[in-house]
Amino acid sequence: MHLLLSLCVVWLLPMAWTLEGNSLPRRIISYQQDNVDLFQEEGVFNYSTMLLREDLGLLVIGAREAVYAVDLHNVSIKFASVKWEATQAQTDDCGNKGKDPETECKNYIRVLHEMGDNRMYVCGTNAFDPQCDFMSYADGTLTLENKAEDGKGKCPFDPYQKFASLMVDDDLYSATSMDFLGSKSALLRSLGVSIRTDETERLLKQPNFVSLVHIPESVNSATGDDDKVYLFFSETAVEYDYYNKVVVSRVARVCKGDLGGVWRLPKKWTSFLKARLECPILESWRLAYIIQDAYRWCDPFKPWTDCLIFTIFTPQDASDLSAVCVYNMLDISRVFTEGKYKTPVTVEIKETEESFVKWVMYSGEVPFPRPGACIDDAARKANINQTLDLPDKTLLFVKEKPLMDNVIQPVGKKPSLVRKGATFTRIIVNQVQAADDRMYHVMFIGTENGTVVKAVNYDGEMFIIEELHVFKSPEAIKILRFSIVTDQLYAGSDSGVVQIPVATCDRSSTCIDCVLNRDPYCGWDKETGKCVALSQLQKKLIQSVQDGDASLCPKSAPNTPVNQSIWVGGNLKLHCTNPSIHAATIWEQDGRTLSPTGRHYFLKDDLLIINTSDSDAGLYSCLSVERSKTNEYTSTLAEYQVNVASSAIAPNVAPNDAPNDAPNDAPNDAPNDAPTVAPNVAPNVVGLYAAIALFVIAFLGLLSWNVYNGHFTCIRRNERT
Ligand SMILES: *[C@@H]1O[C@H](CO)[C@@H](O)[C@H](O)[C@H]1NC(C)=O
Ligand SMILES: *[C@@H]1O[C@H](CO)[C@@H](O)[C@H](O)[C@H]1NC(C)=O
Ligand SMILES: *[C@@H]1O[C@H](CO)[C@@H](O)[C@H](O)[C@H]1NC(C)=O
Ligand SMILES: *[C@@H]1O[C@H](CO)[C@@H](O)[C@H](O)[C@H]1NC(C)=O
């Protein structure tokens, strides 16, 4: 507990500040119905499983008690559905065992994979009695075969439990708990030759499974190596001799051709090895961040050694930082093929006559074939053609020492992205070729708050392009998928599935905004004067993703000032939305920079002048000033010509003489009408003061109540340790 307590707010604050700069998205796009296509069915929840069937033009969605087939091009168009409910007897049984019949005792579809024969394999939690079935899609209908296969070890019992599954050549790999109580866990291969992990805490100790990925290491292998399946997870560490439970992040791997041993490790993995993954967020953290998702990114034209694993790490305590760490597949593989092993040694404490197990680096002899290695040419030369032929000393070694000594570090030895805000839940990555001909990895990250964060790491510099609200309510993104056929992202949550394009370039209406957004998908087309998607045909676009260099942007046409009239003593509101959160908004009156006064209020999207006088007449300009790596860019977002009428007769206010394509027309929330005169703002300002006063009083009250009740023990207890 003292670990947690030492992470007091007191020293969290200054650290958060240092992150602020580049951890903010350049823009936040609020939810708008027409931004996204949505699929949702009345009364159906938990859309957390997806299978892309690009061959059939389908997105297959697994939800609670149902599977849907929707149009890959437009998820709001449903082609077919099939219900799969737990039977009454199963539901009753589940309820009798103390689970909630209305929620837990339902059939949550969790596993959905494509088989070689075009069918699909689907599993559900089925009222804490997991079952699997085959499913096919033909003539616009989804059909379950009602095979009722035992789903134990393939799909979790508990719908809230994390698990991972993967289909490789009709073999199902799954990492999940194996029993009703969720206390036994295993990495399992089924459908083909069944192999699983031994039931020992050495292999998996209270694990939380995250992801399984297949790496085709046999392709063009000079050593005749086998393909491997890597498992990403977190578990309670065995290697630290702390009294407290320490959770660590891991990657484990097995060989695709593993058939188990004969009398030692029969039907068990002979190739299961694991290593610790590190994602060093900030040096001062004591509780390590924990892996939550992993995504394999491989260039189809390059060898597997160039594959990257993008992972999400989140804190174990209540901080609001999340991180992305990227691992090189070659670095991961090397730890298993060349690294040292750890070995358990029993340490006796003389005084107390107690003993405990400590894991230390093993420096003794390593048998041949190397423990945990796949069968390769060297093994075959020694007449070992399959794992069944492995000598006992190799099997015994791997059984006792499955943990590698080396820790795997991310690319650059630090996170590729760290952000304060809604916790990250899922990540997928897309590669795009920018106008500079270089390839960039664009990360799309789902959050707990129903948003998708789009970010790039430019040679070590993290840059968050935007954060897009894809769901109306702030709910967690449970799954993310990407289709190269449609160039669309699909995100699932408890309430539905949405589809969004990888880029919406026309959100930028000026060249400077388009270039400073540094989105590798978008560039400025001088001919049409629009921010457009990069395509192979238009390489002449203005783009500068590395530097944000907008100096090539053409001079924008001068703004036509919008006329505004106001009488003396009235209140004037001028509208101006800055498209960038990274930029500062500056107001000028006849070229003089305005600063806030008792009469001038700088609101988020408006300038408010109360009690106007003759001196307020003039030309007002709203400027955006944004720094990029190379330069500082100032652009005019809006201009207003303000006339102040001194007579007691109200002037004829004509709010609609603004041109429709006013340059400040922000794509999100620009009003269609020109800024209007707001004659009655003074009472609102009084109201604001009152609200602030009330807030201060309430805050002081809360503070004294807390002090009185001793709720700030955090600080005190920390001093004691
Ligand atoms: C399913 O969705 C409902 C409604 O949003 C939610 O309350 C529940 O926690 C979800 N269940 C699981 C297992 O995710
Ligand atoms: C998807 O379908 C819906 C309903 O049929 C339609 O309103 C929407 O415009 C379509 N979206 C796209 C991108 O075609
Ligand atoms: C391994 O395969 C080789 C060539 O296929 C064969 O000659 C040899 O007998 C096999 N060894 C065993 C132990 O099966
Ligand atoms: C989550 O989203 C809501 C609105 O959608 C916002 O008010 C809230 O601040 C967000 N929370 C975080 C942690 O970003």
Ligand nearest to the CA of 31: 4
- Please name the residue whose Cα sits nearest to atom 3 of ligand 4: 474
Nearest ligand 1 atom to alpha carbon 475: 5
Asked whether 37 lines ligand 2 (CB < 6 A), one says yes
183 CB burial (10 A radius; 0-12, 13-18, 19+): exposed
List the residue whose alpha carbon is closest to atom 11 of ligand 1. Answer: 46
Cβ-contact 454, 440 below 8 angstroms: no
| DSSP letter for each residue of 39-92 | E--TT-----EEEEETTTTEEEEEEBTEEEEEETTEEEEEEEEEE----HHHHH
Largest interatomic CA distance in the chain: 105
Mutate to test the pocket of ligand 4, among 449, 475, 581 (most ligand atoms within 8 A of CB): 449
CA of 484 to the centre of ligand 2 (A): 19
* Residue 659 pLDDT greater than 60, yes or no: no
Q: Could you give the CA distance from residue 713 to residue 702 in angstroms, rounded to a whole number?
A: 16
Over pLDDT 70: what percentage of the chain?
A: 85
Q: What is the mean pLDDT of residues 32-49?
A: 90
Please tell me the distance from the alpha carbon of residue 681 to that of residue 486, in angstroms, as a whole number. 49
C-alpha 127/C-alpha 104 separation (Å) is 6
Nearest residue by C-alpha to atom 4 in ligand 4:
474
Pocket of ligand 1 (CB under 6 A): 45-46, 108, 159-160, 494-495
Query: What type of residue sits at position 277?
Result: L
Which residues on neighbouring strands pair with residue 609, listed in sequence order? 572, 600
**Over the stretch 637-652, which tens digit does the pLDDT of each residue have?**
999 999 988 755 544 4
Chain-wide mean pLDDT for the chain?
86
Kindly tell me the sign of the dihedral angle through the C-alpha atoms of 516, 518, 524, 530: negative
**pLDDT of the residue at 708:** 47
Phi, psi of 23 (to 5 degrees): -95, 5
Contacts of 583 (CB under 8 A, 6+ apart): 624, 625, 626
Q: Is 39 close to ligand 2, i.e. is its CB under 6 Å away?
A: no
Is residue 29 lining ligand 4, measured as CB closer than 6 Å? no
SS3 697: helix
Neighbours of 300 (CB within 10 A): 5
Is any ligand 4 atom within 6 A of the Cβ of residue 25? no
Q: Which atom of ligand 1 is nearest to the CA of 45?
A: 2
Which of the listed residues 262, 375, 385 should we mutate to test ligand 3's pocket, taking the one with most ligand atoms within 8 A of CB?
385
Q: What is the CA radius of gyration of the chain?
A: 30
Cis peptide before 369 (omega within 30 of 0): yes
Q: Give whole-number Cα distances, 316 to 288, 688, 712, in Å.
A: 7, 39, 21
Beta bridge partners of 469: 451
Confidence of residue 12 (pLDDT cuts 50, 70, 90): very low
Asked whether the predicted pLDDT for residue 148 surpasses 50, the reply is yes
State in Å: Cα 191 to ligand 3 middle: 27
Ligand 2 neighbourhood includes 501 CB (under 6 angstroms): no
pLDDT band at 629 (very low <50, low <70, confident <90, very high): confident
Closest CA to 169 of 196, 140, 189, 183: 189
Band of pLDDT at residue 246, cut at 50, 70 and 90 = confident
Substitution site in 380, 383, 387 for ligand 3 pocket (most atoms within 8 Å of beta carbon): 383
Q: Is any atom of ligand 2 closer than 6 Å to the C-beta of 77? A: yes
Q: Among residues 63, 61, 62, 82, which one has the least CA distance to residue 71?
A: 61
Distance CA 16, CA 6 (A): 16
Positive or negative, the CA dihedral 137, 138, 139, 142 is: negative
- Segment 359-383 mean pLDDT: 95
Per residue in 399-433, pLDDT (tens digit) is 999 999 999 999 999 999 999 889 999 999 999 99
Q: How far apart are CA 268 and CA 266, in angstroms?
A: 5
Q: Alpha-carbon distance 76 to 40, whole Å?
A: 8
Q: Which residue has a Cα nearest atom 3 of ligand 3?
A: 383
Q: What is the pLDDT of residue 654?
A: 41
Nearest ligand by distance to the CA of 478: 1
Residue 581 CA, ligand 4 centroid: distance in Å: 16
Q: What is the percent of the chain where pLDDT is above 90? A: 70
One-character DSSP codes across 601-631: EE-SSEEEE-S--GGG-EEEEEEEEEE-SS-
pLDDT given for residue 512 in this prediction: 94
What residue type is 571 in one-letter code?
N
Query: Which are the contacts of 656, defined by CB distance < 8 A and separation ≥ 6?
Result: 673, 674
* Residue located nearest, by CA, to atom 9 of ligand 3: 383
The bound ligand whose nearest atom lies closest to the alpha carbon of 498 is 2
- Does the beta carbon of 303 sit less than 6 angstroms from any atom of ligand 4? no
What letter represents residue 89's amino acid? A
b/e per residue, 658-683, with b = 16+ CB within 10 A? beeebbbbbeeeeeeebbebbeebee
CA dist 421 and 446 (Å) reads 12
Residue 477 alpha carbon to ligand 1 centre in Å: 12
Closest of 282, 157, 256, 277 to residue 210, by C-alpha: 277
pLDDT at 139: 92
74 lines ligand 2 (CB under 6 A): yes
User: What is the model's pLDDT at position 252?
Assistant: 98
Per residue in 568-593, pLDDT tens?
A: 988 999 999 999 999 999 999 999 99
For ligand 2, atom 3, name the residue with the nearest CA.
76
Q: 239 falls in which pLDDT band (50, 70, 90)?
A: confident
Please list, in sequence order, all residues whose beta carbon lies within 8 angstroms of the beta carbon of residue 392, skipping any fewer than 6 positions away: 264
Q: Per-residue pLDDT tens for 166-199?
A: 999 999 999 999 999 988 999 999 998 999 998 8
Does ligand 2 lie within 6 Å of residue 71's CB atom?
Answer: no
Which is it for strands 632-645 and 562-567: parallel, antiparallel or unpaired? parallel
Question: pLDDT at residue 454 above 90?
Answer: yes
Q: Angle 629-421-690 (CA atoms, 0-180°, nearest 5)?
A: 105
- Strand arrangement of the beta sheet that strand 195-196 belongs to: 164-168, 171-177, 185-190, 195-196
**Nearest-angstrom CA–CA distance, 586 and 623:** 5
449 touches ligand 4 (CB under 6 Å) = yes
Residue 8 has pLDDT above 70, yes or no: no
Please indicate whether residue 613, judged by its CB atom, sits closer than 6 Å to ligand 2: no
Question: Cα separation of 62 and 558, whole Å?
Answer: 53
3-state secondary structure of 503: coil
Sign of CA dihedral 117, 118, 119, 124: positive
pLDDT tens-digit map of 61-111? 999 999 999 999 999 999 999 999 999 999 999 999 999 999 999 999 999
| Closest ligand 4 atom to Cα of 469 | 5
SS3 588: strand
- H-state helical runs in 401-553: 511-516
Relative to the alpha carbon of 36, which ligand is closest?
2
* Ligand 2 atom at minimum distance from 75 CA: 1
Q: How confident is the model at residue 242 (pLDDT cuts 50, 70, 90)?
A: low
Q: SS3 for 97?
A: coil
Number of H helices, E strands in the chain: 9, 43
pLDDT in tens, 323-367: 999 999 999 999 999 999 999 998 888 887 777 888 999 999 999
**SS3 state at 689:** helix
Closest ligand to Cα 71 = 2
The 10s digit of each residue's pLDDT in 478-521 is 999 999 999 999 999 999 999 999 999 999 999 999 999 999 99
Residue 388 has a pLDDT of: 95
Residue burial 6-30, b: 16+ Cβ < 10 Å; e: rest: bbbeeebeeeeeeeeeebbbbbbbe
- Give the integer Cα–Cα distance in Å for 659 and 638: 12
N-to-C CA span, the chain: 11
Q: Which of 639, 608, 609 is nearest to 623 (CA)?
A: 639
The pTM score is: 0.85
Closest CA to 88 of 77, 98, 96: 96
Ligand 2 atom 9: the closest Cα is on which residue?
37
Index of the ligand 3 atom closest to the CA of residue 389:
13
Count CB-CB contacts under 10 A for residue 349. 9
Position 320 scores a pLDDT of: 82
- With a Cβ cut-off of 6 Å, ligand 3 is lined by 383, 385, 389
Which residues are paired to 622 by β-bridges?
587, 638
Given this model, what pLDDT does residue 245 score? Answer: 81
Query: Which ligand has the nearest atom to the CA of 420?
Result: 4
User: What is the average per-residue pLDDT within 547-565?
Assistant: 87
* Amino acid 316: pLDDT: 85
Please give the distance, rounded to the nearest whole angstrom, from the Cα atom of residue 444 to the centre of ligand 4.
Answer: 18
Residue 319, ligand 4, Cβ within 6 A? no
Distance in angstroms (rounded) separating the CA atoms of residues 452 and 469 = 7
pLDDT tens digit sequence for 668-679 = 333 333 333 333
Cα gap 716→349, rounded to integer Å: 34
pLDDT of 21 > 80? The answer is no
Q: Which atom of ligand 4 is nearest to the CA of 320?
A: 13
SS3 512: helix
Residue-level pLDDT at 47: 97
Closest residue to atom 12 of ligand 4, CA basis? 422
Cα(189) to ligand 3 centroid in Å equals 26
CB-CB contact of 120 with 51 (8 Å)? yes
Q: Which ligand is nearest to the CA of 375?
A: 3
State in Å: Cα 453 to ligand 4 middle. Answer: 13
Q: Is 29 left (phi over 0), alpha (psi -120 to 50) or beta?
A: beta
Question: Helix or strand or coil: residue 453?
Answer: strand
At 243, the pLDDT band (50, 70, 90 cuts) reads low
Distance between Cα 73 and ligand 2 center (Å): 9
The Cα 207–Cα 233 span in angstroms is: 7
